[in-house]
Amino acid sequence: MATQQHTPHPHAAMSPMSRKLADELQPLFDEIASCMDRGDAAEAIRLFTEDATVISPTGLRGTGHSGVQRVLASDMASILKGAHSHFTIESLRELGDTVFIDALHEVASTQAGGRAPLEIHVVLLARKSGGAWKLMEARPYAFMTPAKTH
């Protein structure tokens, strides 16, 4: 008899209320990942509030739609070029119509023999407006390798 594979829920470790909110937010993250995969910064802008601010892992800062688009386009032409992005919401805290989110951004090369996958931590704020979630702030960064102690 064949056994059925069960894929665990991506937000299984969260409380039921947090899990429900993470499930509601996940399509926003899937859409931004799809824009990154296509290198489409212009389309990604509609997922951000008009006054959003993004600071890239390289320190490039952009505010407002034009600034955020400039930062995203730069990242898509460099560290995200030829890669597949996937976001996993690790934790969140609801604050009225705003949510503070910790997420993991996995960046995997789509090229044969490409670089090793990157894991980038992202801290974000999202706001629900008119029934849709939009990103207000995004701060991606990578953890440093701890110094060796003697």
pLDDT in tens, 81-134: 989 999 999 999 999 889 999 999 999 977 656 667 889 999 999 999 888 999
* Tokens 């503070």 belong to residue: 100
Look at residue 111 in the predicted model and tell me its pLDDT. Answer: 67
* 16-141: CATH architecture: Roll (3.10)
Look at residue 142 in the predicted model and tell me its pLDDT. Answer: 82
Look at residue 147 in the predicted model and tell me its pLDDT. Answer: 79
Average pLDDT of the chain, as a whole number: 88
Look at residue 22 in the predicted model and tell me its pLDDT. Answer: 93
Task: Give the pLDDT band of residue 3 (cuts 50, 70, 90).
Answer: low
Q: Are 149 and 127 in contact (CB under 8 A)?
A: no
Residues 150, 146: Cα–Cα separation, whole Å = 13
Look at residue 17 in the predicted model and tell me its pLDDT. Answer: 75
Q: Are 57 and 69 in contact (CB under 8 A)?
A: no
